[in-house]
Structure 1
Amino acid sequence: MGKKVAGTAYIKADGTQFTTTGGAEAPLSSTKRETVAVGFFKEEDRVPFIKATVVNDPDLPIDKIMNATDQTVTFEFGNGTTYVLSGAYIVDEPIAKGDDGTIDLNWEGTKGVWL
Protein backbone atom coordinates (compact mmCIF):
# COMPACT_ATOMS: atom_id res chain seq x y z
CA MET A 1 0.00 0.00 0.00
CA GLY A 2 1.32 3.45 -0.89
CA LYS A 3 1.65 6.29 1.60
CA LYS A 4 0.92 9.90 0.80
CA VAL A 5 4.05 11.97 1.43
CA ALA A 6 3.22 15.20 -0.39
CA GLY A 7 0.27 17.16 -1.66
CA THR A 8 -1.61 20.32 -0.86
CA ALA A 9 -0.10 22.26 2.04
CA TYR A 10 -2.20 24.54 4.22
CA ILE A 11 -0.83 27.59 5.98
CA LYS A 12 -2.75 29.76 8.40
CA ALA A 13 -1.43 32.84 10.27
CA ASP A 14 -3.60 34.26 13.05
CA GLY A 15 -6.76 32.96 11.40
CA THR A 16 -5.89 34.00 7.84
CA GLN A 17 -5.82 31.00 5.49
CA PHE A 18 -3.30 31.19 2.63
CA THR A 19 -3.50 29.37 -0.67
CA THR A 20 -0.06 27.92 -1.33
CA THR A 21 1.44 26.91 -4.65
CA GLY A 22 3.27 23.97 -3.09
CA GLY A 23 6.50 25.80 -2.34
CA ALA A 24 6.60 25.68 1.46
CA GLU A 25 9.13 24.52 4.05
CA ALA A 26 9.86 24.27 7.77
CA PRO A 27 12.96 23.04 9.66
CA LEU A 28 13.05 19.49 11.02
CA SER A 29 15.40 20.40 13.85
CA SER A 30 15.82 23.25 16.31
CA THR A 31 19.62 23.01 16.09
CA LYS A 32 22.24 23.23 13.37
CA ARG A 33 25.43 21.16 13.50
CA GLU A 34 28.72 21.83 11.78
CA THR A 35 31.85 19.70 11.76
CA VAL A 36 34.91 21.46 13.19
CA ALA A 37 37.30 18.50 12.77
CA VAL A 38 36.86 14.79 12.12
CA GLY A 39 34.69 13.46 14.92
CA PHE A 40 34.05 16.91 16.45
CA PHE A 41 31.15 19.26 15.82
CA LYS A 42 29.63 22.43 17.11
CA GLU A 43 25.93 22.98 17.58
CA GLU A 44 23.97 26.22 17.32
CA ASP A 45 20.34 27.07 17.86
CA ARG A 46 18.39 27.43 14.63
CA VAL A 47 15.79 30.17 14.34
CA PRO A 48 12.41 28.48 13.79
CA PHE A 49 10.81 29.46 10.47
CA ILE A 50 8.19 28.79 7.83
CA LYS A 51 8.74 29.76 4.20
CA ALA A 52 5.92 29.65 1.68
CA THR A 53 4.92 30.79 -1.76
CA VAL A 54 1.31 31.95 -1.53
CA VAL A 55 -1.24 33.16 -4.04
CA ASN A 56 -1.60 36.96 -4.08
CA ASP A 57 -5.32 36.91 -3.34
CA PRO A 58 -6.90 40.40 -3.48
CA ASP A 59 -8.50 39.65 -0.08
CA LEU A 60 -5.14 38.94 1.57
CA PRO A 61 -4.71 41.37 4.52
CA ILE A 62 -1.18 42.47 3.56
CA ASP A 63 -0.91 45.26 6.19
CA LYS A 64 -1.98 42.90 8.97
CA ILE A 65 0.54 40.23 7.90
CA MET A 66 3.44 42.65 7.46
CA ASN A 67 2.87 44.54 10.73
CA ALA A 68 2.19 41.58 13.03
CA THR A 69 5.01 40.72 15.44
CA ASP A 70 3.48 37.87 17.45
CA GLN A 71 1.66 35.61 15.01
CA THR A 72 0.90 31.92 15.36
CA VAL A 73 1.50 30.25 12.00
CA THR A 74 0.29 26.70 11.36
CA PHE A 75 1.65 24.67 8.45
CA GLU A 76 -0.21 21.46 7.61
CA PHE A 77 1.76 19.26 5.22
CA GLY A 78 0.12 17.04 2.63
CA ASN A 79 1.28 13.94 4.53
CA GLY A 80 -0.73 14.91 7.63
CA THR A 81 2.07 16.36 9.79
CA THR A 82 1.79 19.87 11.24
CA TYR A 83 4.38 22.48 12.26
CA VAL A 84 3.32 25.37 14.52
CA LEU A 85 5.43 28.53 14.74
CA SER A 86 4.82 30.87 17.69
CA GLY A 87 5.87 34.48 18.17
CA ALA A 88 6.19 34.79 14.40
CA TYR A 89 6.86 37.82 12.23
CA ILE A 90 7.72 38.37 8.56
CA VAL A 91 11.43 38.72 7.70
CA ASP A 92 13.25 39.53 4.47
CA GLU A 93 11.45 41.55 1.82
CA PRO A 94 8.33 39.86 0.42
CA ILE A 95 7.70 40.87 -3.15
CA ALA A 96 4.44 40.44 -5.05
CA LYS A 97 5.21 38.85 -8.43
CA GLY A 98 2.87 39.85 -11.23
CA ASP A 99 3.96 37.18 -13.70
CA ASP A 100 2.56 34.31 -11.64
CA GLY A 101 0.45 36.12 -9.01
CA THR A 102 2.40 34.88 -5.97
CA ILE A 103 4.19 36.23 -2.91
CA ASP A 104 7.13 34.54 -1.17
CA LEU A 105 6.66 34.87 2.60
CA ASN A 106 9.24 34.01 5.24
CA TRP A 107 8.17 33.91 8.88
CA GLU A 108 10.63 33.53 11.73
CA GLY A 109 9.57 33.15 15.33
CA THR A 110 10.45 32.23 18.88
CA LYS A 111 9.34 28.60 18.94
CA GLY A 112 8.59 25.90 16.37
CA VAL A 113 6.89 22.63 17.31
CA TRP A 114 6.06 19.55 15.24
CA LEU A 115 2.73 17.95 16.14
Structure 2
Amino acid sequence: MTVLRSVALFAVAAVAEIGGCWLIWQSVRESRPWWLAGLGIVVLGGYGFLAALQPSSDFGRVLAAYGGVFVAGSLLWAMAFDGFRPTRADLLGATICLAGVAVIMYGPRR
Protein backbone atom coordinates (compact mmCIF):
# COMPACT_ATOMS: atom_id res chain seq x y z
CA MET A 1 0.00 0.00 0.00
CA THR A 2 2.89 2.39 0.71
CA VAL A 3 4.18 2.00 -2.86
CA LEU A 4 0.73 2.73 -4.31
CA ARG A 5 0.40 5.82 -2.11
CA SER A 6 3.86 6.97 -3.16
CA VAL A 7 3.13 6.48 -6.87
CA ALA A 8 -0.18 8.35 -6.54
CA LEU A 9 1.58 11.22 -4.79
CA PHE A 10 4.21 11.32 -7.54
CA ALA A 11 1.47 11.53 -10.19
CA VAL A 12 -0.53 14.26 -8.46
CA ALA A 13 2.61 16.23 -7.59
CA ALA A 14 3.82 16.00 -11.20
CA VAL A 15 0.54 17.48 -12.42
CA ALA A 16 0.87 20.28 -9.87
CA GLU A 17 4.51 21.03 -10.66
CA ILE A 18 4.22 20.83 -14.43
CA GLY A 19 0.80 22.48 -14.51
CA GLY A 20 1.96 25.35 -12.31
CA CYS A 21 4.99 25.97 -14.49
CA TRP A 22 2.85 25.73 -17.62
CA LEU A 23 0.39 28.32 -16.30
CA ILE A 24 3.24 30.75 -15.60
CA TRP A 25 4.70 30.05 -19.05
CA GLN A 26 1.35 30.74 -20.66
CA SER A 27 1.07 34.09 -18.88
CA VAL A 28 4.64 35.27 -19.42
CA ARG A 29 5.65 33.72 -22.74
CA GLU A 30 2.33 33.37 -24.53
CA SER A 31 0.85 36.72 -23.46
CA ARG A 32 -2.09 35.12 -21.69
CA PRO A 33 -3.81 36.83 -18.72
CA TRP A 34 -1.60 37.76 -15.73
CA TRP A 35 -3.78 35.85 -13.30
CA LEU A 36 -2.63 32.58 -14.88
CA ALA A 37 0.84 33.30 -13.46
CA GLY A 38 -0.69 33.88 -10.03
CA LEU A 39 -2.61 30.63 -10.26
CA GLY A 40 0.58 28.88 -11.36
CA ILE A 41 2.39 30.16 -8.27
CA VAL A 42 -0.37 28.79 -6.02
CA VAL A 43 -0.31 25.43 -7.80
CA LEU A 44 3.48 25.24 -7.47
CA GLY A 45 3.12 25.89 -3.76
CA GLY A 46 0.73 22.95 -3.60
CA TYR A 47 3.38 20.79 -5.25
CA GLY A 48 5.75 21.55 -2.39
CA PHE A 49 3.25 20.26 0.14
CA LEU A 50 2.48 17.17 -1.94
CA ALA A 51 6.17 16.28 -2.11
CA ALA A 52 6.35 16.50 1.69
CA LEU A 53 3.63 13.84 1.99
CA GLN A 54 5.82 11.10 0.52
CA PRO A 55 6.27 8.15 2.93
CA SER A 56 10.07 8.39 2.68
CA SER A 57 11.68 10.88 5.05
CA ASP A 58 14.80 11.22 2.87
CA PHE A 59 14.35 14.63 1.20
CA GLY A 60 17.20 14.21 -1.28
CA ARG A 61 16.00 10.83 -2.44
CA VAL A 62 12.40 12.00 -2.85
CA LEU A 63 13.39 15.13 -4.76
CA ALA A 64 15.75 13.18 -7.02
CA ALA A 65 12.92 10.78 -7.82
CA TYR A 66 10.59 13.69 -8.57
CA GLY A 67 13.16 14.82 -11.13
CA GLY A 68 12.68 11.60 -13.08
CA VAL A 69 8.90 11.82 -12.80
CA PHE A 70 9.10 15.45 -13.96
CA VAL A 71 11.00 14.47 -17.13
CA ALA A 72 8.47 11.83 -18.16
CA GLY A 73 5.48 13.88 -17.02
CA SER A 74 6.66 16.93 -18.94
CA LEU A 75 6.70 14.94 -22.17
CA LEU A 76 3.18 13.67 -21.48
CA TRP A 77 1.99 17.20 -20.65
CA ALA A 78 3.52 18.60 -23.83
CA MET A 79 1.83 15.88 -25.88
CA ALA A 80 -1.56 16.56 -24.27
CA PHE A 81 -1.52 20.36 -24.23
CA ASP A 82 1.01 21.57 -26.79
CA GLY A 83 0.79 19.04 -29.63
CA PHE A 84 4.36 17.84 -28.99
CA ARG A 85 5.44 14.58 -30.59
CA PRO A 86 8.35 12.91 -28.79
CA THR A 87 11.22 11.32 -30.64
CA ARG A 88 12.58 7.89 -29.84
CA ALA A 89 15.37 9.62 -27.92
CA ASP A 90 12.79 11.51 -25.83
CA LEU A 91 11.00 8.27 -25.01
CA LEU A 92 14.23 6.45 -24.21
CA GLY A 93 15.36 9.27 -21.92
CA ALA A 94 12.00 9.31 -20.11
CA THR A 95 12.13 5.52 -19.69
CA ILE A 96 15.62 5.72 -18.21
CA CYS A 97 14.46 8.47 -15.83
CA LEU A 98 11.48 6.40 -14.66
CA ALA A 99 13.74 3.37 -14.15
CA GLY A 100 15.90 5.63 -12.02
CA VAL A 101 12.87 6.62 -9.96
CA ALA A 102 12.13 2.96 -9.27
CA VAL A 103 15.70 2.31 -8.15
CA ILE A 104 15.95 5.50 -6.07
CA MET A 105 12.66 5.01 -4.24
CA TYR A 106 12.11 1.26 -4.14
CA GLY A 107 15.50 -0.35 -4.73
CA PRO A 108 17.70 -1.99 -2.12
CA ARG A 109 19.04 0.10 0.75
CA ARG A 110 22.39 -0.29 2.43
- Which interval holds the TM-score relative to the shorter structure? under 0.3
Computing the radius of gyration over CA atoms, which structure comes out larger, 1 or 2? Answer: 1
Q: Which has the higher helix share?
A: 2
Instruction: Give the structure-2-normalised TM-score.
Output: 0.25
